[in-house]
Chains A and B, each alone.
Chain A
């Protein structure tokens, strides 16, 4: 009996650890309950504005911008070409993202014919150096606002935290130095972009499907993690 316990309990612990690794226990809510207006207004097109960079990395904006079109298009929306939209706003004299985010929404409908605008905020795009480990964090907050009713239709946050220490802590001081070098090598901008894509895919899971996706108006009962802060 002891042998059985000795084998099974660690295995069960590993199993529990692995299954919860993707999603720790959280409150679930259906898409229709959380974002009812998406199903009422049924926007077809999204105008992706350049991201608002609230991180410490000045390059984050240009790099993150290259990752937004794909996931939102794949979930079924018509996504306006990001680079063109950004350049046109500059030609119209709006260089500052903060100003852009304050523009009245009907302007976007008037100029582009967009049903809704997608605002993205880069909350975190950095590496925290700890004593022996370091973590890369990419955190993106996104929201969709209607250009017709001005209602906020959807908002969600996608965060990715990556342990860069590589798991190899053996070898004393030499090991520490090696992992410090590995960390420096590991945090090229390409890595941020890679994890930004993962953060995006986490955001997207909560978004009701758009008209070009087979799941359009069929995913009301899909369960998503409720990110509303606990009162």
Chain B
């Protein structure tokens, strides 16, 4: 008694479905876009171009926050973006992003206030 061709095909189909579904993932809580890739590239080669690309990735992730399950910008993203601006010498944009981080995530309040005070102090010293 040979196993019929259709039964054999059925068994193979079951194997494929079980294998694939075992590793399926739910929709993401936050939209990161290509932030992680850009971050890695910048860590590998820290130059102007890669820093700019990383900044753009963060801005895009922030723009697309409403496409995520939470509707929020990922934790730390405003802070990271503010820090990129701070390193690029744009204190005003740094401050506004630190403020946003604090507004979205109260857990960041203590740290962001410390950063805001630091930036303001440094800016005051310049004048």
Contacts and interface: CB of A to CB of B under 8 A. Distances in A.
Interface of A: 1, 3-4, 7-8, 11, 14-15, 18-19, 22, 44-45, 62-63, 65-67, 69-70, 73-74, 76-84, 87, 111-115, 189-190, 193, 197, 212-213
A66 B40 contact: yes
Contact of A189 (B12, B44, B109): B44
Given A3-B3, A4-B2, A22-B22, A73 B76 contact: yes
Contacts of B12: 11
A63 B44 contact: yes
A65 B75 CA distance: 16
Nearest to B15: A15
SS class, residues of chain B in contact with chain A: helix
A79 B15 contact: no
B107 A78 contact: yes
Given A19-B22, A76-B29, A213-B29, A84 B43 contact: no
B99 to A, nearest CB: 15
23 contacts: A3-B1, A4-B1, A8-B3, A11-B11, A14-B15, A15-B15, A19-B19, A44-B107, A45-B107, A45-B108, A62-B43, A66-B39, A70-B32, A73-B76, A74-B30, A79-B76, A81-B79, A83-B80, A87-B83, A190-B40, A212-B72, A212-B75, A213-B29
B80 to A, nearest CB: 5
A133 to B, nearest CB: 23
Nearest to B72: A212
Contacts of B105: 78
B127 interface: no
Interface in B59-80: 70, 72, 74-76, 79-80
B36 interface: yes
Contacts of B76: 69, 73, 78-82
Contacts of A82: 76
Contacts of A15: 15, 18
A186 to B, nearest CB: 17
A11 B8 CA distance: 9
Interface in B14-43: 15, 18-19, 22-23, 28-30, 32, 35-36, 39-40, 43
B95 to A, nearest CB: 14
Interface in B99-124: 105, 107-111, 114-115
